[in-house]
Amino acid sequence: MNEKVRWGIVGAGNIAHRFANAVKNAEGAELVAIASRSDEKGSKFAKEHGIEHVYVGYEELAKSVLVDAVYIATPHPQHVSCAKLFLNAKKHVLCEKPICVNAKEAIELSECAKKNGVFLMEAMWTRFLPAIIEAQAMINRGEIGTIKNIQADFCYHYPFDITSRVYNPELAGGGLLDVGVYCLHFASIFLGDYPEKIVAVGEVQDGIDHQVNYILQYKDGSIANLSSAVTVEKPATGYIYGTDGYIEIPNFFGANQLILHKNGETSHIEKPYMGNGFEDEITEVCNCIRLGKLQSDVIPLSKSIKMMEQIDEIRRQIGLQYPFETL
């Protein structure tokens, strides 16, 4: 194994640029390749980020001996085929969120990674942010007492455009898979992975979810009240309510500060992340690979499977199935 983990990017789209910028700051990482379905697009991306190797077609990158790990930045329905391609080629994989489209696929990916003895993690960067880690530490210190309730909304308004992945049912458009997954991970950080009850209502049009509200209840009675949307904007503030106070987290999915409300007083705590926020998750993957770990303790595959099971249940309740799947 080389001193640094040598990364390749799969898909030269929007979020791939952010990853490419972050790799430069991440410990133990080096970006050596980009794979695109288009030579022109891949070459342009490589030039912009100073990447040495361009592969036309993802299969070509899978065959390469120049990379140890890949970052999958394709639309959600392509995650499963891309991840399998690279896992079967013995490459370690960091796969964009959501890890795939449903729990059945998530279980297949988990088995595929295990069979090939390579690392796989869902790129839920929120879990590595210093602000989120600080919130967990504050709760563990008992600063807000027992957690009773979580609220998180991730709702944005994207103008209708059938050519964008946001509105295309073939690309599993809609808010739940795109941003609702952040709300579910947020609830899972503070209340766990096993809600006993889920109640969802949604506005589904033209094969995608325009907006969905979902309430999860856990064994101890605690509740998470969550929502996601692509047709309405809401402040993306996360709240963790305890018996002795509450923590407010503006922009919770990419948090860099916390606001503690306790005893009638408010304290602001700045917790900026390094670079563009992706660095810490990349460092985590590099560390795991170096240690020979096949999963991260922060986001083990069992957690990603649980998130997909919750999304499956929400989709069942709101009557949302994508044209390419049979659940």
The DSSP code sequence of 202-224 is EEEETTEEEEEEEEEE-TTS-EE
Alpha helices (H) along 89-126: 103-116
Contact between 84 and ligand NAP by CB under 6 A: the answer reads no
Lay out the site mask for ligand NAP across 277-296 (x = CB under 6 A, - = otherwise).
--------------------
Lay out the site mask for ligand NAP across 161-200 (x = CB under 6 A, - = otherwise).
----x-----x------x----------------------
- Determine the residue with CB nearest ligand NAP: 13
Cβ atoms within 10 Å, residue 133? 16
Contacts of 208 (CB under 8 A, 6+ apart): 166, 167, 168, 169, 173, 174, 230, 320
Lay out the site mask for ligand NAP across 111-150 (x = CB under 6 A, - = otherwise).
------------x-x-------------------------
How many of the chain's residues bind ligand NAP (CB under 6 A)?
21
Contact between 76 and ligand NAP by CB under 6 A: the answer reads yes
The DSSP letter of residue 111 is H
Dihedral pair phi/psi, residue 248, rounded to 5°: -105, 135
Contact between 218 and ligand NAP by CB under 6 A: the answer reads no
Stretch that binds ligand NAP, among 72-80, 194-202, 236-244, 295-303 (CB under 6 A): 72-80
d(CA 256, CA 271): 5
- Using CB under 6 A, pick the residue from 26, 61, 62, 75 that binds ligand NAP: 75
